[in-house]
Each structure stands twice: as structure tokens, then as C-alpha cells.
Chain A
Amino acid sequence: MTIHPHPRPSPIEGEGSSFRYIGKKRRTKEDPRFVMGRGRFVADIALPGMKHVALVASPYPSARILSIRTEAALAVPGVHYVLTGEEFCAATESLAIGVDTPQVTRYALAKDVVRYAGEWVAAVVADTRAIAEDAVELIEVDYEPTPHVIDPEQAVAAGSPLVHPAHGSNILFHRRFVWGPVEQAFARAEHQLALRVRWGRSATVPIETFGVAAQWDPGQQMLDVWASIQMPKYPDQTARALRLPGNAVRVHYDVDVGGSFGVKRGIKHTVLVGYLARRLGMPVRLIEDRLENMRGGDAHGPDRIFDMQVAFDRDGTLRALKIRALDDVGAYAGRAPLQLGKPVSAICGPYRVAAVEYEPTSVMTNKTPQEAVRGFGQSPTNFALERALDHVARHLGMDRIELRRRNLIRKDEFPYRIPSGSSYDSGDYHTVLDKALAAIDYPALVAERDAARRAGRLGGIGISTCLEPSGGNSAFEPLFNPKNDTTTWMEACLVRVDLSGAITGVMNTSSSGQGHESLVSTVIGEVLERDPAGIRVVRADSLSALPSNSPVGSRMAIMLGGAAAGAARKIKEALIEIAAHNLGCTTETIEYQDGNVAVRGHPGQRLTWDELVAIAHRKYHQMPAGLEPGLQAKFVWEVPTGGALPTADGVIQIYPCYAFETHIVYVEIDPQTAKPSLRKYVCGHDCGVMINPDIVHGMTYGGIAHGIGAALYEKFAFSDDGQLESGTFMDYLIPSAMEIPAIAIVDHCTPSPLTTFGQKGSGEAGYLGAPAAVANAINDALAPLGATIETLPITQDALWHVINAAGTDH
């Protein structure tokens, strides 16, 4: 059984209800161990003799390090080592950067200068974390503060302090893409308008902070790593930065990750801990505390100013868009600038827009660095698009839903190619919108809002219609960095049937709540017609693993699901070959049912699953020629539609599949306290065939809650002097069950023609449309006051000021 060199997507296997296990309500594989308190998170792993790291953080956003005195810390009993940037930066390589900016180096520990408040300056290794923290207090660092820049618009202006002077500018990336006849469309359109909206700096902030433990084996010359990680190319980047061969780093993926949603990319933590473990010959772990996570964990999200221009006709037809996006990635580059690139995949949303100009600028400031956040930049873009749509409707005096209906791509137009090159695979946007409107009883909702207004309350309805690009590909990498010619982001699965006839699926990455074990077992069970409850799913370590690009970009239902199905299909083909050989017939005449086989028309001529397995494992004399003994198959799948580099003018298909979601939310704002309350929430959602509806719904509810947080509550606020003002959960407000309303999800299924079962991705669902809908609802509530708020999060304080400025009549 060999890997197909270029496996192509197969036709959809079955439709809707014809599936045996897919789409059915099933308990997950993962839930039981977690409700028993028997998950295995990184902080639960105790290596014999393990030492603990605590960190010295810079109090200044920009300063020269004049001296570091470590003697007192080293004298504390139980302290083993104090590492500073001078040693560390000489012994390791700078971390990888997403764009072509080689002078923007980045290490876990600062050397000579610090570039944000909270940046790590020294690491203490001690017997316990408490002792390490005691020692941190005794380290004296002399700093000479230097000018800093916090505001991204100041950072791009002439004369700004430079975060990385060697780079010569604070701009990491800037390009103006023009897809289609934009200027012509603007000249011909009957109307145009411009607006500025701002997406605030928030993130996914999982309840588990990042953690990593590492152990160096001098006999094997191997570094073993356990981490709460969700990151493509993590083992390779760790090895590269540590100047080790790739096969000297073994990442153990059987670590449960306590939430990530993009941000768990502790590569700098890992290189630091890996270096210490090897340097000291001791197992070492670093578990961030909450302040280290919030301030120095380098896990903030997009922080983005959009200048939007829309050209449209009086009947509401959208003609062209101009989008300028200025994104503040903080003090180091990492992968964050690429979060301006992924939205190219769906740059005009679910709408027919013939021409689009997009001018992204990635800028550095003296703030905590940015990391990938759920949607990889798509949710801010969707928010900007949906605010623009509401402005167009208001400009024309047109109903917001009618405006959307006129511009949404119609069901009969798929596959639909947008100007930037992506071809949307399938969809039925109008039907999903109609179903959501019916579910919330839209006319009654309007009546409720209007009655609230008559009673002196501020009521608002918000609507958004948004896309979730899925099937995570990396095509934005070459788009934003011509030196990067990566064109594959494959995923793989190994399926094996053991001598007892039990089935095991092997996946090749860690998970952070997405239910991948349930996904793999369901898909294998579907193909082999065996009960998924008996199928075990395990995780290879990075040296025994097949290729994986980790669960990012809503890709695993498509990519891991497709790989598992491909491997299971090979097992099934092998069983049929064995059967045909032993029953003396052709494979075409074999009927396969529940893992047993019979000759068509001769039910007495049959072999059971157990008999077939025994032949494969023990009876080589009964095996057909050319078939491997044992019963195992691997399948490596390339992203459907992937494999191409962008054209010179930046046209590229980025992601293969496009899920659609529409959100309808009703908000009331207390006119006295300005407190917003979300009263009703419906989400219409079409992600094609759902493998496990409970998992899809759960991620969608969670995405909506996360989006409500981004819209109303969550902000990494910085003072003018560069201090993070929201480093705890008392300042960085994560919504609780009291803020999140009851949510109703209305499903629709338009299968993708590109995937094994018609599935699309859903890991970013909810988050991609909720902030837009909530912002639109708040602005609808403020409309009678003649006020708007275009900056997220729309805090109670911001609302109070707007309401009071408009007069207290309301």
C-alpha cells in the first residue's frame, strides 16, 4: 500500500441521512476523561527531578539594558541557574518570521535592549516555582529608558522611534493589491462612502496559560518536549532555533491543550526551556502565570484600523471596495503579519463585488507581540465589511437585510470566483439568512425593538452575513513573502487493524478541544462500517508522525477527516482484495458489509472481519501477491485547490471551502447605566456536512461568546507610557454565563464538492460573524441618538459617554 503521489478529492460518499455515523448525535471520545479530571495537560506532567522557570520582565516599553546583577539570585538555595540574553542569543537562532524582514530578530530573552513592557530579560531555574519567583525578586537590572511608540499611526509617521532600528522602519509589510477595475468602478458608481472602523487588541486568552516541559537525553542526544501547543512546523522550528537536527527534537502530541483558538504558539518559551534543559542536563518546565501570559506570552490578537471605501448604486448594488488595513503587531514579527493575508481569501465577504483594492500595512510598536487568533484576521475584516454594509443601507435608506439579499452570491452562481482569486466552493446564503430570520421571528423582533424605543429604552437589532474560509492552507505565505514558496499544507492519518481486529487511528498533532479523536473515529467507522465507539485514536510523537500542519484555519474536519477516510478506504480495498483472492472471484463481485464480505449472489461464500484480519496478519500463504502483510494504511492529503503560487499581481486561491454564517442579535442598552444586554441571539450556519453536530454547535456557541467578548468587553489596553493596563481577569473582561445570552443555532447543509463527505470547516464559526452583528446591533440602538461607535470593544464606558453626549432624554 503506497501513498498516492497526488491524491485527489473523491466524490462525496453518501448524502446527508445516508451516512451511518457521520452527522449523528454521538458522545465524544474525549469528554469522559475530562469530566473525571483525568485529562493530561502539560502542568500535569511531572518529570523526575524537574526544575521550574520564573522570568524577569522588563518594566519599560523601550530601554537599553545597562547591567544585570544575578549574584543574589544565584545564592538562593534551590536556584540552579540564571540565564540572560547574552548567553542565550549567542547559542540559539532567531525565531522564524512570516515576512521577509531578516533584521527583525526575535529571541525569548532580550539582549542589550527591551522593546516592550513585559519582555523577558532573564530566566531563573530553581527546584520549585516559588523559589524561582523569590530569586527573580533579587535580580537587579539597570535600564536606560529610550523613546517608545505605542500608537500604530504614529509608528508609521516620519520621525517615529524605531522598534528595530536595524530594520530601518516600523513597517514590516505593505502592499497595495488591485484586483479588477477598481478606479473605473468608483468613477461609474452612483454613490460612494468612506468610513473608519477599529478592531481592538484582544485575543482568545485560553483559561490554561501556555506551558512547556523539556528533557534532554545525553545518551540519545535527543530533546523530548511536552507542550500545550497548537502550531504548524513547531518541532522543525524548535530544532532550527536550537541548532539541532530535526530528528533530535521529539514533541509529544499526547498532551491535552487547555484551549488555544490560535494563540498557543509558545515557540519562544519552547526554545528557552529546551535550551535550559540541555544546558543544565535537567528536565525543565515553564508554566506561564497569568500575568506572564497576558503581558509577555506574545499572544495578543489583531489590533487594526480599517479605512473602508465603498462604491455602490442607488439600488444597493455593490460595485467596488477599497480597504486599507493598518495592523499593529507589537514589538516583534513572528507570524502575525500574515493575519493581514488570510482575509484575501474572502476579501469581499459573501457578496458579489467585481473589483477590490486592498492595502494592508503591518506595523511594529512597543507592545506585546501579536499571535494567531481564531480566524487569522478574518473576523476583523468581516467586522469592517459588515459595518460598511450597514452604512451603505443607512446612506440609501434601504433595509439592511434587503441590501444584503441583493448582493449575496446566489446559490446558482457557485463555484464563484472573487477578484482576489479564491473560488468559493458552494453555498446557499439566501436560504440560511431566511431560516435565521424565521427562527428569530424577525417581524416580531422589530416590533419588540420599536416598542422598547417608544418606552424610552435603547433597543437595537444587529445582522451580519459572513464567511468562514476553511481547510487551512498557507497560500498567504508566498503572497506576503516572495522568498517563501510553500505550496502544500498536507495532513495525514495512519489507520491500523491489529490481530484482534481492533482498529486504531493515529493522528499527528495535539488538540485543544476540537474533538479530533471523535472526528477520526467517526470517519474511519463510516468508511469501514465499524462502530466508532470501539475505534481508538492515538497521537504519534513528532518523530513517529506522518506530516501534519496542526489544527489551524478550520482545517481538520476537511484535512484530517479526509486523510482518515483515505487511509480507511485503503484498508477496505485491501480487505476486498484478500476476500477476492480467497473466494476465487474478482474484487468487483465482492460485497462489503459491516467489515464482512461475500460474493454477490452467493451469500454462502463469505469471510468475516476476523477471518480477513487473521489472513492479513498470520496467513501469508493466503495473501494475494503484492499485498503487504498486516493491515495498516497511511494517507497523506494535500489541501484541495492548493498547490499553486500567487500570480505577480497577487491573485491566489487561498482556502478551498467557505462556510457561511448569519447572525441576528437583539440588544438593549440601559439608558441610565449604558450597560448593554444581549436579549436574543440566532445564528444561521452552513458548514456543509457536519461530522459531529454537537462538536460543531459547541464550537459555534463558543465562537459567538468569544466574538461577544471582542465586541463588548475584551481589550489589552496600553497606557501612553507603554504599560499593559489589563494584565489580569479583573481588567481583561472575559464574558461569563451572565453576559452570554441563550443562543439558538439554525443549521443548513450545502455540501462542499471538494471534500470527502461534503464537510467544510467550523472551528472558527461564530467568532467570524458575532463581533460584526453585535457592533451593528449597538449602532442600531444608538441610531435614534444620531450616534455611532466604530471602535471595538464597545465598552460600557464608551456607550455611557455617547449616550450622555447625545443628551439624557433617552
Chain B
Amino acid sequence: MNETLYPISVEVNGVLRTAPVPARLTLVDWLREELRLTGTHVGCEHGICGACSIMLDGEPVRSCLMYAVQADGHRVTTVEGLAQPDGSLSVLQDSFCDLHALQCGYCTPGILIAAQGLLDATAHPTDEQIREAIGGNLCRCTGYQQIVDAVKHAAARLAEDPLSPRGRGTG
């Protein structure tokens, strides 16, 4: 199929990526199929489940509801970009492991993005704020309890360590 290709230039996890893409290619398909960043998952492709959440210029968004061409000139962080620069787990990722805030791991990247977005903006979130922040991310395994606990745990750990206020890498 002879589709017109449009050049895009996107900073993905701190690295500038350029590519020609067809207009109808979604951002999540570009990230997963072209860049092989398969940590971002597809759940519903209609913007409800949140499994495809990424950060666009620091804000959590659905990558299934965006076209890759719309990301041109923007900064994208996926779950692969959440770890600390040395590759070790971010405080949030580590807290998820500490409190077993996941089971099958499929929704987890999107939940981490949503929760990181909250922690970036709110130092001491309440349970209600945490539930609201992850309210657009569906999880079938956990009933959300250990996720709420882990985000609260991460916030407390970050508050104790002023040298690493974000406790994570790029984005």
C-alpha cells in the first residue's frame, strides 16, 4: 500500500528518534513495533484501560489515542525510561516490587506512568489522590489495594531522600 510517509522527530526516553511514518500509525504502534519498546501495552485501543499510558512532555497520556505524527517535536517517556540512569529501579518501581503491586504485569507500565505523574506533581498524595490518579488505568489482578499502598510507600521514601526528589531517570 502506497501510503504517504511523514518525517517525525521525537525524543524518546532521552534519545532523539527520527522516522518516516504513515499518518494512520498510532503512537503506541510506533513505539512497540518500530522502536521495539514493548513495555507499553495495548489493552483496548479506545482510551479506557490506560495500559498504553506514556508521558508526553511529562504528562501521562494515552498512546493509543495519538498518532505518531502528533508526537513530532515532543518528548516521550515510556516505562523503559522510568529506571534511574544507572539502570536500577526507580523508587516507584522498587516500591511496586516491595509491596507486590502487580500480578500479571500487563497494566503495570501504564499504572507506573500514571503514578509517576502524580508523584512528580504531588509530594504527599492522599489515598484519594492516588486512587484518582490511577482511576483511568484498569487492573484486573490487584483490586488496586497494593498499588495504592505502593504509591504511598514510594511517596514516603521520596520524601525521606531529598537528594533524589524524583528517584527516576529521563522524562
Contacts and interface: CB of A to CB of B under 8 A. Distances in A.
B39 A730 contact: no
A729 B44 contact: yes
Contacts of A513: 102-105, 141
A420 B112 CA distance: 48
B100 A28 contact: yes
Contacts of A28: 97, 100
B155 interface: no
A289 B127 CA distance: 33
Q: How large is the interface on B (under 10, 10 to 19, 20 to 34, 35 or more residues)?
A: 35 or more
A698 B103 contact: yes
Contacts of B125: none
A134 B1 contact: yes
Interface stretch (B55-63, B75-83, B159-167): B75-83
Contacts of B135: 736-738
Contacts of B100: 27-28, 31, 694-695, 697-698
A34 B105 contact: yes
Nearest to A39: B105
Contact of A36 (B80, B131, B144): B80
Contacts of B105: 30-31, 33-35, 39, 256, 258, 513
Given A76-B1, A257-B104, A694-B146, A737 B134 contact: yes
B83 A701 contact: no
A738 B51 CA distance: 17
A27 B46 contact: no
B40 A37 contact: yes
Interface in A88-109: none
Interface stretch (A41-49, A150-158, A335-343, A795-803): A41-49
A51 to B, nearest CB: 14
A34 B80 CA distance: 10
A455 interface: no
Nearest to B139: A207
B146 A701 contact: yes
B148 interface: yes
A41 B41 contact: yes
Contacts of A789: none
Contacts of B79: 35-37
A728 B44 CA distance: 8
A290 interface: yes
Contacts of B170: none
Given A36-B83, A737-B135, A27 B104 contact: no
Q: How large is the interface on A (under 10, 10 to 19, 20 to 34, 35 or more residues)?
A: 35 or more
A734 B109 contact: no
B83 A34 contact: no
Nearest to B114: A737
A561 B45 CA distance: 38
Contact of B49 (A33, A43, A207, A702): A207
A742 B94 CA distance: 22
A728 B46 contact: yes
Contacts of A209: 43
B140 A734 contact: yes
Contacts of B108: 34-35
A738 B140 contact: no
Interface in A13-64: 27-28, 30-39, 41, 43-44, 46
Nearest to B131: A737
A219 interface: no
B31 to A, nearest CB: 11
A206 B48 contact: no
Contacts of B142: 698, 701-702, 705
A33 B109 CA distance: 11
A290 B38 contact: no
A729 B138 contact: yes
Interface string B20-46: 000011000000100011111111111
Contacts of A289: 45
Nearest to B83: A36
Contacts of A258: 41, 104-106
Contacts of A703: 143
B15 to A, nearest CB: 15
Contacts of B148: 737, 742
A206 to B, nearest CB: 6
B48 A705 contact: no
Contacts of A34: 102, 104-105, 108
- Residue picked from B48, B97, B139, B140, most chain A C-beta under 10 Å: B140
B49 A729 contact: yes
B126 to A, nearest CB: 12
Interface in B116-171: 127, 130-132, 134-148
A701 B149 CA distance: 13
Interface of B: 1, 24-25, 32, 36-46, 48-49, 51, 78-80, 82-83, 89, 93-94, 96-100, 102-109, 112, 127, 130-132, 134-148
8 closest Cβ contacts across the A-B interface?
A: A37-B39, A34-B105, A258-B106, A513-B104, A513-B103, A701-B143, A705-B143, A37-B79
Given A258-B104, A736-B136, 20 more contacts: A37-B38, A37-B80, A43-B41, A43-B42, A130-B25, A209-B43, A257-B104, A259-B103, A289-B45, A290-B46, A694-B99, A697-B145, A698-B143, A701-B145, A702-B140, A729-B138, A737-B147, A740-B144, A742-B127, A742-B148
